[in-house]
Amino acid sequence: MKSSAYIIITPAKNEEKFIEKTIQSVITQTILPVRWIIVDDGSTDKTPEIVKKYLKDYPFIRLVQREKNQERNFGNKVFAIRRGFEEVKDIDYEYYCNLDADVSFEPNYFEMLLNKFNENKKLGICGGRAYYYKNGKLIKQPYNSESIPGFTQFFRKKCYDDTGGYYPFKYGNEDGYVEIKARMKGWETRTFEDIKIIHLRLTGTQWGSKIKLRFISGKIEYFYGFTFYYHLLRALRITFKEPFIIGSIFALYGYIISTIKKEERINDEEFIKFLRNEQKNRLIHYIKKGKL
């Protein structure tokens, strides 16, 4: 097996505005994937037609179409990914990238990340620093260096297998779970600042308003087992980010209402224990360095 052999799986639904830019980014890579499975998850626009234009000239691209599902369910993305894995059962590969259909990047994006894997055998998941456009200006997305956005998580196959892969949670955020699970299993996870990827759609817009996004984030943090004091600090940190104070209030409201209702939490005590220990260490770092 080649040490550079990688596959890509891309769940896509109604991505006609962006997917061609993603395709152009992949087919111009200095190291091409051995297989790219694009799973059309019941699109009602021209997404599958755009993909079909490239199938003849780029045989490593495969299009799989799932039945239309009218229900808005964030588990659908995970099911689409699992459907993609069915298409690569007989392929030898060492790395796997979950790549959304609304991103663009430089021709050496995957070559640079593969080099990072080769340099560090404990590296389990990596990705480039994500940017997005706002009013025509390129803005860096804020998140810590151990996190990798779900739209570009690049795995060592052994790491992905160790985590058990993505799970179809009610509110999504399967990417957050899998990277924490990877660290729990002894792998390193890393975003590389010197490698850039552009998210053409702003993260979280699938929820509609930013206020609703904050509310959902509070419910997600409750579900994963965040302690209240850590969630409170995170809510305070976003006070000066849009939608400002009201966003913090709704994040707290999402967490508190889930607590009052005693909603279900993730059924993984080892995970919760590890997560809270990470948070404790991060708080200590915050106190010492002033950076959470």
Tens digit of each residue's pLDDT (9 = 90 or more) over 117-170: 999 999 999 999 999 998 889 999 988 999 999 999 999 999 999 999 999 998
**207 backbone φψ class: left, alpha, beta (φ>0; ψ -120 to 50):** alpha
Looking at the domain assignment, is residue 258 inside a domain?
yes
Looking at the domain assignment, is residue 83 inside a domain?
yes
Q: What is the C-alpha to C-alpha distance for residues 63 and 84, in angstroms, rounded to an integer?
A: 9
State yes or no: pLDDT of 207 exceeds 60.
no
Q: Which residue, 180, 156, 155, is CA-closest to 98? A: 155
Q: Which of 155, 176, 203 lies at the terminal end of a domain, its last residue?
A: 203
Q: Which residue has the tokens 């106190």?
A: 287
What are the distances in angstroms from CA 229 to CA 186, 200, 232, 255? Answer: 26, 34, 5, 11
State yes or no: pLDDT of 205 exceeds 50.
no
Q: Which residue, 173, 121, 119, is CA-closest to 148? A: 173
Looking at the domain assignment, is residue 1 inside a domain?
no
* The pLDDT value given to residue 244: 82
Q: Which of 143, 175, 203 lies at the terminal end of a domain, its last residue?
A: 203
Are 115 and 66 in contact by the 8 Å Cβ rule? The answer is no
Counting the structural domains of the chain, the total is 2
Q: Which of 203, 226, 258 lies at the terminal end of a domain, its last residue?
A: 203
Domain that holds residue 170: 6-203
* Section 91-98 average pLDDT: 97
123-134 and 188-199 beta bridge pairing: parallel
Q: Which residue, 83, 30, 86, 39, is CA-closest to 61? A: 39
259 in the same domain as 188 = no
Are 198 and 109 in contact by the 8 Å Cβ rule? The answer is no
149 in the same domain as 214 = no
153 in the same domain as 133 = yes
Query: 219-247 pLDDT, tens per residue?
Result: 999 999 999 999 999 898 888 777 888 98
Q: Identify the sign of the CA torsion 240, 196, 179, 10.
A: positive
Looking at the domain assignment, is residue 232 inside a domain?
yes
120 in the same domain as 170 = yes
170 in the same domain as 105 = yes
The amino acid sitting at 280 is: K
Q: What is the C-alpha to C-alpha distance for residues 187 and 162, in angstroms, rounded to an integer?
A: 9
140 in the same domain as 39 = yes
Looking at the domain assignment, is residue 96 inside a domain?
yes
Are 206 and 258 in contact by the 8 Å Cβ rule? The answer is no
124 in the same domain as 58 = yes
196 in the same domain as 155 = yes
Query: What's the whole-number average pLDDT of the chain?
Result: 92
For residue 165, give the CATH number of its domain. Answer: 3.90.550.10
199 in the same domain as 227 = no
User: pTM for the full model?
Assistant: 0.90
118 in the same domain as 55 = yes
123-134 and 137-140 beta bridge pairing: antiparallel
Looking at the domain assignment, is residue 13 inside a domain?
yes
266 in the same domain as 181 = no
Q: Which residues of 41-71 are buried (b: 16+ CB within 10 A; e: fewer)?
A: bbbeeebbebbeebeeeeeebbbbebeeeee
Q: Which residue, 124, 84, 120, 123, is CA-closest to 100? A: 84
State yes or no: pLDDT of 266 exceeds 80.
yes
Looking at the domain assignment, is residue 245 inside a domain?
yes
Both structure tokens of 89:
């059962």
120 in the same domain as 75 = yes
* Section 210-225 average pLDDT: 92
The confidence band for 171, taking pLDDT boundaries of 50, 70 and 90, is confident
